Amino acid sequence: MMMMKSAMLVLAALVASAAGQADAAPAYGRTALQADLDTIRDAGTLGVQARVVSPRGDLAAASGTAVRGRKVPVPVDGHFRMGSNTKTFVATVILQLEAEGRLSLGDNVERWLPGLVRGNGNDGRAITVRHLLQHTSGLHDSVGDIEMKMRTERGYREYRFLRMSPRKLVALSVGHRPLFAPGARWSYSNINYLLAGMIIERATGNSWREEVTRRIITPLGLRNTTLPGDSPRLPKPHPESYTDDAKTARPFRATRLSLGWAGPAGEAVTTTGDLSRFWRGLMGGRLLRPQQLKKMTTTVPLGAPGREFGLGMAKQKLSCGITAWSHPGGTPGFITDNAVTEDGRTSVIVSRTSYPGTPEQGKATARLIDNALCGN
């Protein structure tokens, strides 16, 4: 759900590798993909799968095991929780609504959700829809607070079937003072996308799930992408997923999990095939008009050189000099990393089953993404 430290490390490693070459050489093949996946496994990831789709074809492979303590192959194109990749779907719907004249990125939260964001220095009149999508609202992340509590096995068992309304989560957020004035800087907050989902519902009269399904999942034929709400089950096939206990460092199984309370911030379930189709469709112009896609890719700095964030997606430079777009995702049990070229022709999706991961795993994943898009 939140952009975790390990996922940020992937972005940082990609940025750090930029060497300024002009073009990508399309030479990445199945043997190279398998070798990179084995390196991620050797860095301590229990199970990992990846898919690279380019004009040269569709490559998919996996490494490690699907069940801890047993030799069970990780299913290629197995289902996983994609976490904060859900946010990119939601941002896309918001921009579609803007193109239809049904809302504006400059609208303030108060206009759509009167009285919801008030108190302790928080003011919905000063926070715009753009601030929400770009994480520049300054709102405290109460969703992230709960996610951190789930980093222990005890906390996971306490919260894994949580039921909580978006309004309650927003109230918990507003119970804290804002981190900064809206627009002053960038700070990741899942609450931004809970509010975005509520605005979709007010603007359309339909739930955000209905709009994402009607506008994205159905047109792109994403038959393995679901918005499960409170259901804790993953469709088959899927690997088991595990979280390292923050206190004991021992991994525990975290496969059965309800994320309906996180909703538009991180609920969706998908496969590498479906998620690659989404990213290529988005950047390839199948979902947004050029004007809206330009707004989506207009960025603000993340506080470190070369790291930038648009509306529901992050910008990164690869070692060969090309620009790629992505949104890492993490839930208890799964980490998702991805990248797609600006023209939407080549995408990489990587799903790991060891959460939250280590810097070594993040660097190995960053190398796979860079190798695949640059043809190394």
Catalytic residue among 6, 63, 84, 276: 84
Q: Report the b/e string of 166-179 with b at 16+ CB within 10 A.
A: beebbebbbebebe
Q: Is 71 left (phi over 0), alpha (psi -120 to 50) or beta?
A: beta
C-alpha gyration radius of the chain: 19
Residue 11: strand, helix, or coil: helix
The tokens for 52 are 């690279």
User: What is the Cα–Cα distance from 137 to 123, expressed in whole angstroms?
Assistant: 10
CA distances from residue 235 to 80, 230, 240, 279 in whole angstroms, order as listed: 9, 14, 12, 22
Is 137 catalytic? The answer is no
Residue 262 amino acid letter = A
Pair 334, 80: CB distance under 8 Å:
yes
Write out the H or E segment, with its range, that includes residue 242.
strand 242-244
Beta-bridge partner residues of 331: 334
Neighbour-count burial of 121, counting CB atoms closer than 10 A to its CB (0-12 exposed, 13-18 middle, 19+ buried):
exposed
Handedness of CA 177, 182, 187, 193 (dihedral sign): positive
User: What is the Cα–Cα distance from 232 to 95, expressed in whole angstroms?
Assistant: 30
Residue 345: partners with Cβ closer than 8 Å, 6 or more residues away: 54, 55, 280, 284
Please give the DSSP secondary-structure letter assigned to residue 217: I
The tokens for 56 are 């040269």
- Positions marked active-site: 84
